[in-house]
Amino acid sequence: MSAKHHTITALVQNEAGTINRLVSLFRRRGFSLASFNAGDCEDPGFSRLTFIVDGDDATISQCLKQLDKLIDVVECEDLPKESSVQRELALIRVEPTEDQRQSLYNIVNEFIARTPRSTPTCVVVEQVADVYDIERLIEALRPFNITEIVRTGVVAMKVEG
Amino acid sequence: MNRSGAKIVMEALVREGVDTIFGYPGGVVLPLYDEMLNWPQVRHVLVRHEQCAAHMADGYARATGKVGVCLATSGPGATNLVTGIATAIMDGIPMVAITGNVNSWAIGKDAFQETDIQGITIPITKHNYLVTDINELPQVLAEAFYLANSGRKGPVLVDIPKDVFTAMSEAPFPDTIVRRGYKPAGAPARAEIEVAARLISEAQRPVIIAGAGILHAQAMAELLYLAETTKIPVINSLLGLGSFPRDHELSLGMMGMHGEAAGTLAVQEADLVIGLGNRFDDRLTGNTGGFAPKAKILHFDLDPSEIGKTVNPVAWVLGDLKLSLGELNKLIQPSEHPAWMAQIRVWQTQFPLIVPEGRFPTRTVLKGLNDVTHGNAIVATDVGQHQMWTAQFYKMKKPMSWLSSGGLGTMGYGFPAAMGAKFARPDEEVWAVVGDGGFQMTLQELQTAVEYNCNVKICLINNGFLGMVRQWQELFYDNRHSHVAMGSPDFCKLADAYGVKFFRCSRLEDLEATLKGASDHVGPVLCEFVVEMEENVFPMVGPGATNSALVMDPDLIPSEEAHQLGAFETTHAGAVKS
Ligand SMILES: Cc1ncc(C[n+]2csc(CCOP(=O)(O)OP(=O)(O)O)c2C)c(N)n1
């Protein structure tokens, strides 16, 4: 993950078209969107979104202003790592050989990941962590024949102080 | 009281003080068109193409500051509005566009004349709605009008399925509108005003660029006070024209790609550029790398996203311009900049706008229009060379009397926009200045003008070319004409067919009589001016060039006096190609 990655969160009022309008802003104005995630939040009728955006400071500042200008956006901000919790969930399906199973479980334990489902042919590894840890886990699992990866994109929460 | 969705729409219009709407019927809006018959206080103007309904609503809004309303059916009716909505968002024009859609249960099934107009217009509206619950309709309509005409103004679209027009609801209109995500700019921060006042007091060579934000905020008096107290000269962006009196000694007219030389050069030499409600767009700044190279930029706007979008100001004031300038004016001290003004006068004498004599160029006509109307008419332009010349030569005396598609540059805009203005302000003389190209994009509205006796004067500049494109081909493509020669119908017969009064003028000798004749006639007039074919607009900053590389009119012979005073080095037309 390059130093240019920024984590932007936005609280938005949810109506028909809201998500479309937010995401289309990134395309229309040429902001580079690496991932985004949307979900319900503490206020009914509102959602919180997390965007991972690449760009220099001027671009990110313009991106925040453009987001804020949308009528649906109540507030948005660029969250620094230090004052936030940033997590992503990944599901990684591997199809190890019989001999590899034990070392696979060793790695899963080492990473404190979970295996919510395993069958004679495959194991699904689940991890909730920050992006760096997820990417390290994926690298560690490569030898075990990864056949599918699903990631939620980062969700982030500001924690003051 | 239980009432239908159609009735709620009409109630909303009356509540918002809308006296005129521009529209075109179709299947899904039939319930609304039927209901409309019960509301004589709202005049519906039946256009000939929905694009023109949007442009008329736009013209209505620019001439009054009120929200313009247009109405179309689903599918092709709605998509025909798109150009007009895009024109409005670029120039910050308050507009509410109401579209019908197929029944809510049919949405998403490719029903007949279904189109996702909400999705299509997301990037070109300030906000938009698809209303599927009748109980939300009063709230949505009230919000739409509020959003359109507050903060940075803009078009809002409300898409209403047919069954919502016929459903019944008792939901009331809201008394106040609160949206957590919407906080239109208010008073400025004191600290920002203090910095601005200090920068202004320190400047030796200050200049103001006044944009359309002054007009939107109705801050003309505050601007005048600021300029007169500090003796800072004022340049307008294309859309800011009318916000400062052009006959004022401090007015430098328009700047930009075809702006007046003195203003453009002043910005290049200034040590402080004060942008007031303008957005430093590329047609004004030229290459931003070389824009105002010696100046600090101080930017006033109500939209935070405008600050630092294209140029980097050292300081800014966020807030409603009327309030911001009001606060600033309390802190400023009277000042004079005699040396600076003397330099500007040199440029003005050296590089005036000129009208060649002994020929019949477009400039003659537009200068004539200014002379005959004394700048008192409302003027709408189309897009092209004639637009730039009108901006140069038409010295409008009043604000809200200049309508031009500056941001989107929409050909076909001028005539319907002029009609919208005339519907809004029937007592004013209204002219549309259009080219032979652009006029042929929306001339079907002649029939609308006739039916409503919409007394608009059309000044049709017939140069036989898509002039502005021809100019670029001449200057940047070795004069290779590719599809720019433009045939036209016999406009006399055309006017006759529509029953519109017609004048044709092709000589200077007839100019004044023609303009006066058109002006005096009661009812729509088409005035064709057959002008010189290959005339170019100058000064010109070539695309991608910096404003210092301003190219002057080849017909310009700098005065002796200016030469002696030692003036700016500028390029002559031949050099623009390199
Ligand atoms: C809808 C649209 N299509 C194309 C253009 C590109 N364009 C800009 S100016 C121009 C020529 C306009 O010609 P005319 O209306 O005859 O006016 P003139 O320049 O001759 O005054 C064209 C084609 C545009 N601005 N709008």
Whether the ipTM is more than 0.90: the answer is yes
Active site residue B50: yes
pLDDT in tens, B497-546: 999 999 999 999 999 999 999 999 999 999 999 999 999 999 999 999 99
Tell me, yes or no, if A74 comes closer than 8 A to chain B by beta carbon.
yes
> Taking CB atoms and an 8 Å cutoff, what residues of chain B touch A16?
118, 129-130, 132
The mean predicted confidence, pLDDT, of chain B is 95
pLDDT at A33 (0 to 100)? 94
d(C-alpha A134, C-alpha B33), whole Å: 59
pLDDT at B407 (0 to 100)? 96
Tell me, yes or no, if B108 comes closer than 8 A to chain A by beta carbon.
no
Cβ contacts of B296 within 8 Å, gap of 6 or more: B199, B271, B272, B273, B313, B314, B315
Residue B578 clears pLDDT 60, i.e. is over it: no
According to DSSP, residue B408 is labeled: S
Starting at the edge strand that comes first in sequence, how are the strands of the sheet with A73-79 ordered? A32-40, A46-54, A5-13, A73-79
Average pLDDT over residues B278-293: 94
Residue A123 tokens, joined: 């194991």
> Is A70's CB within 8 Å of B181's CB?
yes
Average pLDDT over residues B375-402: 97
| Chain B residues 360-379 within an 8 A CB cutoff of chain A | none
Tell me, yes or no, if A58 comes closer than 8 A to chain B by beta carbon.
yes
3-state SS string for A109-147: HHCCCEEEEECCCCEEEEEEECHHHHHHHHHHHHHHCEE
> Taking CB atoms and an 8 Å cutoff, what residues of chain B touch A74?
180-181
- How does strand B43-46 pair with strand B550-552? unpaired
pLDDT at B556 (0 to 100)? 85
Q: Give the minimum alpha-carbon distance from A75 to chain B in angstroms, rounded to a whole number.
A: 7
Tell me, yes or no, if A66 comes closer than 8 A to chain B by beta carbon.
yes
pLDDT in tens, B370-380: 999 999 999 99
pLDDT at B566 (0 to 100)? 41
- How does strand A32-40 pair with strand A5-13? unpaired
How close is the Cα of B469 to the center of ligand 1, in Å? 7
Residue A103 tokens, joined: 């070392």
pLDDT in tens, B36-70: 999 999 999 999 999 999 999 999 999 999 999 99
Residue of A nearest to B304 (CA): A65
d(C-alpha A69, C-alpha B77), whole Å: 29
Domains B190-350 and B362-530 share a fold: yes
Active site residue B112: yes
> Is A62's CB within 8 Å of B309's CB?
yes
> Taking CB atoms and an 8 Å cutoff, what residues of chain B touch A68?
304-305
Q: How many CB pairs under 8 A join A and B?
A: 50
**Of A130, A155, A157, A150, residue with least CA distance to A38:** A155
Give kind and range of the element (H or E) at residue B206: strand B206-210
Average pLDDT over residues B482-498: 97
Interface test with B, best of A69, A72, A75 (most B CBs within 10 A): A69
Residues with CB under 6 A from ligand 1: B 382-386, 409-412, 435-438, 461, 463, 465-469, 486
Report residue B552: phi and psi, to 5°.
-90, 160
Catalytic residue among B112, B249, B512, B561: B112
pLDDT at B560 (0 to 100)? 54
pLDDT at B568 (0 to 100)? 45
> Is B182's CB within 8 Å of A71's CB?
yes
d(C-alpha B104, C-alpha B283), whole Å: 44
Average pLDDT over residues B178-185: 91
pLDDT at B571 (0 to 100)? 52
pLDDT in tens, B330-358: 999 999 999 999 999 999 999 999 999 88
| Chain B residues 117-146 within an 8 A CB cutoff of chain A | 118-119, 122-123, 126-130, 132
> Taking CB atoms and an 8 Å cutoff, what residues of chain A touch B127?
70-72
> Taking CB atoms and an 8 Å cutoff, what residues of chain B touch A24?
122-123
> Taking CB atoms and an 8 Å cutoff, what residues of chain B touch A72?
127, 181
Residue B153 tokens, joined: 């103004």
Percentage of chain B modeled with pLDDT above 90: 94
- Report the CATH superfamily, name and number, of domain B362-530: Thiamin diphosphate (ThDP)-binding fold, Pyr/PP domains (3.40.50.970)
Q: Which atom of ligand 1 is nearest to the CA of B383?
A: 9
Residue A120 clears pLDDT 70, i.e. is over it: yes
d(C-alpha B358, C-alpha B361), whole Å: 9
Coarse DSSP helix, strand, coil percentages of chain A, rounded to the nearest 5 percent: 35, 40, 25
- For chain B, the first-to-last Cα distance in angstroms comes to 71
pLDDT at B370 (0 to 100)? 98
For residue A3, what pLDDT band results from cuts at 50, 70 and 90? very low
pLDDT at B564 (0 to 100)? 45
Q: Measured at the alpha carbon of residue A24, what is the angle toward residues B181 and B77, in degrees to the nearest 5?
A: 95
**Of B515, B499, B520, residue with least CA distance to B452:** B499
3-state SS string for B441-509: HHHHHHHHHHHCCCCEEEEEEECCECHHHHHHHHHHCCCCCCCCECCCCCHHHHHHHHCCEEEEECCHH
Average pLDDT over residues B134-154: 98
For residue B159, what pLDDT band results from cuts at 50, 70 and 90? very high
Q: Give the minimum alpha-carbon distance from B182 to chain A in angstroms, rounded to a whole number.
A: 5
d(C-alpha B458, C-alpha B468), whole Å: 20
pLDDT at B146 (0 to 100)? 98
Q: Which atom of ligand 1 is nearest to the CA of B410?
A: 26
Catalytic residue among B50, B192, B269, B327: B50
Q: Give the minimum alpha-carbon distance from B506 to chain A in angstroms, rounded to a whole number.
A: 46
d(C-alpha B212, C-alpha B241), whole Å: 7
Q: Whose CA is nearest to atom 24 of ligand 1?
A: B411
Q: Give the minimum alpha-carbon distance from B190 to chain A in angstroms, rounded to a whole number.
A: 21
Instruction: Reply yes or no on domain B190-350 having CATH 3.40.50.300.
Output: no
Domain boundaries, chain B: 3-169, 190-350, 362-530
Domains A4-79 and A86-158 share a fold: yes
Active site residue B113: yes
For residue B558, what pLDDT band results from cuts at 50, 70 and 90? low
3-state SS string for B237-288: CHHHCCCCCCCCCCEEEECCCCCCHHHHHHHHHCCEEEEECCCCCHHHHECH
- Report the CATH superfamily, name and number, of domain A86-158: ACT-like. Chain A, domain 2 (3.30.70.1150)
Mutation pick for ligand 1 pocket among B466, B470, B471, B482 (CB with most ligand atoms within 8 Å):
B466
d(C-alpha B256, C-alpha B280), whole Å: 10
Q: Whose CA is nearest to atom 26 of ligand 1?
A: B411
Tell me, yes or no, if B296 comes closer than 8 A to chain A by beta carbon.
no
Residue B559 clears pLDDT 80, i.e. is over it: no
Catalytic residue among B7, B153, B162, B322: B162
Percentage of chain A modeled with pLDDT above 90: 94
Domain boundaries, chain A: 4-79, 86-158
Average pLDDT over residues A69-87: 95
The mean predicted confidence, pLDDT, of chain A is 94
Work out the burial of residue B123: count CB atoms within 10 Å of its CB; fewer than 13 is exposed, 13-18 middle, 19 or more buried: middle
**Of B452, B330, B432, B316, residue with least CA distance to B382:** B432
Given the candidates 3.30.1300.10, 3.40.50.150, 3.30.70.260, 3.40.50.720, the CATH classification of the domain at A4-79 is: 3.30.70.260
Give the predicted TM-score (pTM) of the model: 0.95
- Report the CATH superfamily, name and number, of domain B3-169: Thiamin diphosphate (ThDP)-binding fold, Pyr/PP domains (3.40.50.970)
- Which among A21, A58, A69 has CB closest to B303? A69
Tell me, yes or no, if B304 comes closer than 8 A to chain A by beta carbon.
yes
Tell me, yes or no, if A57 comes closer than 8 A to chain B by beta carbon.
no
